[in-house]
Amino acid sequence: MTGFKNFILRGNLVELAVAVIIGTSFAAVVTAFTEMLLSFVAKITGGAQPNFDSYAPGDISVGPFLTAGIAFLILAAVVYFFVVTPYTKAKERFFPAEDKGTPADVALLEEIRDLLKTRGGAV
């Protein structure tokens, strides 16, 4: 029973659960926004939302694949331009990257070199 309790209370499991919940909610928001964009496209073109489900050249049903592919591209564009890009810019603005500095092994070697210089040893 202790092992199960440790498994449940492990931080990674809780973080994963929160990520799934937030991701599901976020997916609903992005899907609704994409539907809104498709409705806007339909109003501009004067027709219904883009749907290629009945397209079947040579009796090969490629329409559903085209519809899913276009919906994916629109969804990916929405996520990229309205989430990833603003997030990246905000992260760079509010949390600038720190200088990496000198790696620990190089710093240690430089310190040894400087100690040898002060003792009069050859470098």
- Provide DSSP, 47-111: SSS---TT--GGG---HHHHHHHHHHHHHHHHHIIIIIHHHHHHHHHHSPPPP--S-HHHHHHHH
pTM above 0.85, yes or no: no
pLDDT digits (tens, 9 = 90+) for 12-32: 777 788 889 998 998 888 888
Distance between CA atoms of residues 26 and 55, nearest Å: 32
The two three-digit tokens of residue 15, written as one number: 């973080």
Q: Would you state the pLDDT for residue 86?
A: 93
Name the residue ranges covered by the structural domains of the chain. Answer: 1-49, 51-123
DSSP state of 121: -
